[in-house]
Amino acid sequence: MDEIEQKNIAVLIDADNTPCKQLRSILQEIAVHGHIITKRAYGDFSLPTLKNWKNELNDNAIIPVQQFAYTQGKNSSDSAMIIDAMDLLYTDKYDSIALVTSDSDFTKLATRLRESQIYVFGVGQKKTPQSFISACDDFIYIENLGNEEESSAEDDAAFAAQKRRSHKAADKPKKSFFGLIRRNANGEVAMSDRQFRKIFKLLNTAYDKYADETGWADVSAAGSFFKRQDPGFDTVDYGFRKLTDLIEYFDDDFEMKKESASTRRHVTFYYRPIVKN
């Protein structure tokens, strides 16, 4: 159901007006809203001002569209991005296009896409002119996006230590829905300090997106969301065989339930945060 309901998104990035160090955070935020099919960045990557883009493009699997300036002072990459956006529009493959730029020159493009019933995400800095912001269906400020690298090793260690204590990681293993929770030789769940912080962020973000009117979120939908955020996500790396085992480990912060279909051949798991006084 999650795969059916989510938007198919094309992400087009104006490299001249986007900080490359924020690309991962930008893509993770857009992935909250749907399935990213296409990722392209436009610019003259031979210029010294864009020299740091190579590694970020590779790490995030973004296709660079090299566009040399035909004349001095003219930005031909904007034209290439606009032409590609219109080409993508007529493929009928996309429900949404994300325009990552702080340039008001893309206002007309955003308006044209909306006229064709394409949902337009704008992603830019707070200096973005109001005209472009108003032309989008939803605008995301880059400054408001978190960066998982911002936290220090000391902050991660303190967070993980508190969670290990609250969930009694050193106690003997207990039964989970699918078997025993895997622990290392010291009896502790094999998660790094950074993984503790990352999984908590993912679980809470997925809950906010998928919680229904009863206050429960589908674990399967959350798992699909984790994969969109990080295609390499695997609960085994966290010391658990199944996502349900991982959630059950955090039983001081999340509770879980399961429901069987009328045929009793299919079981659906749900989770929600525990409200603490």
Domains of the chain listed by start with CATH number: 2-144 (3.40.50.1010), 153-273 (3.30.420.610)
> Which pLDDT value is given to residue 15?
95
State the pLDDT at residue 167: 62
Residues of the chain with pLDDT below 50 are: 1-4, 73, 169-180
Q: What pLDDT is recorded for position 62? A: 96
pTM, to two decimals: 0.75
Which pLDDT score is estimated for 66? 92
Question: 107, 134, 137: which is closest to 121 by C-alpha?
Answer: 137
The pLDDT > 70 percentage for the chain reads 80
Check: CB of residue 235 under 8 Å from CB of residue 242: yes
Query: Mind listing the pLDDT tens digit for each residue in 198-252?
Result: 888 889 989 988 899 999 999 999 998 888 888 888 888 888 888 998 898 888 8
Going by C-beta distance under 8 Å and a sequence separation of 6 or more, which residues neighbour residue 21? 52, 56, 147
Q: What are phi and psi of 203, to 5 degrees?
A: -65, -40
Tell me the two tokens of residue 204.
């809470």
Are 96 and 123 contacting, i.e. CB atoms less than 8 angstroms apart? no
Residue 55, pLDDT score: 93
